[in-house]
Amino acid sequence: MDQGPTHELRFRRANERGFADHGWLRSFHTFSFADYYDPKHMGFRALRVINEDRVAPSAGFPTHPHRDMEIVSYVLGGGLEHKDSMGNGSVIRPGDVQRMSAGTGVFHSEFNASDREPVHFLQIWLVPGERGIRPGYEQRAFAPADRRGRLLRVASPDGADGSVTVHQDAVLYAGLFDQGESATQALASDRYGWLHVARGTVKVDGHELHAGDALTLSPRGTAPQAAPHELRIEGVRDAEVLFFDLA
């Protein structure tokens, strides 16, 4: 017998996000962050931060501390220079996924690697499944061809398929979709989903989403053995999409 949809869909539109303009930094906040506070949007499951940042040439975040947080950086344009107290130093570019586990404590800085062009990136924070772990760092490159017309696993608890490892029951997928390209993604009936459109336009389960928009999927209380929800993603125009499968 058909039990109906296993998940409830809700939207978080780009223009509903918080915004801060510091001159050198323009930042949109999906969830409450810094001076932006909305008790209805403090996070979603283990997701605590999705900030869309644009940093001016040669500017950036001076050395500052973090602890007990899984921090994922995803660059959309330009280069982001990273240095930390673990001795890591790198430039993150489009297609790269960086994971830093703050654990017991780490200091790091992030600067625009260019003195001419801005850098555009997403900074994502996940609350870890365990506090007080040893700090760690990882960076992987994922070719555009591997993300074209599909959702590719880029972060997961076990590092499957060459993804970076996050210390939380969460899987992050990334995909590129232009007109005529589509994919389906299964979400178990007892799992939560968050889809974020980083750029461009897509249709998700028939709903049109634009850059900065998000779609959430929450279980309706269906039995765990119920068939998974098949999320349908269709490219409309030059889209880049992130999808989080969350406990």
Q: What is the pLDDT of residues 41-95, one digit of tens each?
A: 999 999 999 999 999 999 999 999 999 999 999 999 999 999 999 999 999 999 9
d(CA 186, CA 102): 31
d(CA 53, CA 179): 27
Domain ranges of the chain: 7-246
Architecture of domain 7-246: Sandwich (2.60)
Query: Is the CA virtual torsion 126, 132, 135, 140 positive or negative?
Result: negative
Closest CA to 70 of 165, 158, 197, 195: 165
Prediction pTM value: 0.96
- pLDDT tens per residue, range 1-38: 345 689 999 999 999 999 999 999 999 999 999 999 99
- pLDDT tens per residue, range 189-246: 999 999 999 999 999 999 999 999 999 999 998 677 789 999 999 999 999 999 999 9
Give the pLDDT score at 226: 86
Distance between the two ends of the chain, CA-based, in angstroms? 26
